[in-house]
Amino acid sequence: MAQVAPGKIITDVGTLDLVPATLDQVRGISRYWPMGLVAYPGIPGNYGLVVKRGNREIFGMTLGFTEMAEEDAIQAHLISRLVIAAALPYYLKKRHHGVMVPCAYYKEQDSGEMESGIALFVGPDTKQRRVLRKPGDKLFVNILGAGGSRMVFDMVEAIARAYKCTGLPMYSIFDLQAKSISDIGGLAMYFVVVGKQVIVIKDQLDETDLVWKYVVQAGITKLSCASIGLETLPGTYCINTSRDWIEMNVDQTNK
């Protein structure tokens, strides 16, 4: 797994400092992510978000744009990455306690045209007091868990505000759908939001990537970073035992 290295990313609007994520931040991800977080024995500081276990897999909500030609889809994919970066401060103001992983995605359709859009994966804090208080909060509760729909709606609102504030072109969204991670397509994963913290997980960081400019432009000048990829595990999925096992490995790896 490629390392996400601490350091400085210099953009034409300022500098973004990347510092190593703390063990408490990693524990926070493991606590809320539905299938937990794997630590790799012998590779300290490397982790995997479990997205499949046995015949079960993570579901996310997709904001899919209308199908388009490949050239247009590539541009839309870039815009999605930028607007996610710009939306982070607006989402943080909602003060959710769980985990949010916003991604740009890109997939070729059977028609030969491309689908591009934004996928939102969540691990809600089901004990948060304001869970299920607003109209629509019970939508998708069987897929995302109690509080998951509100996290998605708040990120959608944050993305809408980011489009408006940045002036980035907004593509027509044809639906909001629940899809399994294997059905969504290729994912560009830059960030995990856990509580009030944003952790950079993008591997092979490129200083020239415009995403960092939009992060700094949004007022963020310091972020934690960690080497976190996607992981598939065999066996029967059990949410409690899998989390206990994974958290124990996090502790052992970092002693």
Asked if residue 2 belongs to a domain, the reply is no
Among residues 136, 185, 193, which one has the least CA distance to residue 21?
A: 193
Asked if residue 107 belongs to a domain, the reply is yes
Asked if residue 62 belongs to a domain, the reply is yes
Asked if residue 1 belongs to a domain, the reply is no
Q: What does pTM read for this prediction?
A: 0.87
CA dist list (Å): 140 to 104, 149, 150, 213: 21, 6, 10, 34
Domain that residue 182 falls in: 7-253
Q: How many domains does the chain have?
A: 1
Asked if residue 180 belongs to a domain, the reply is yes
- Full pLDDT tens readout for the chain, 255 residues: 445 667 899 999 999 999 999 888 888 898 899 888 888 777 878 899 999 988 889 999 999 887 788 888 899 999 999 999 999 999 999 999 899 999 999 888 777 788 899 999 999 987 765 555 666 666 677 777 777 888 999 999 999 999 999 999 988 777 788 999 999 989 999 999 999 999 999 888 888 999 999 999 999 999 999 999 998 888 654 444 344 334 334 444 443
Q: Where are the beta strands (DSSP E) in the chain?
A: 7-11, 14-20, 37-39, 46-53, 56-57, 59-65, 99-108, 114-123, 173-180, 186-189, 191-194, 197-200, 222-225, 227-233
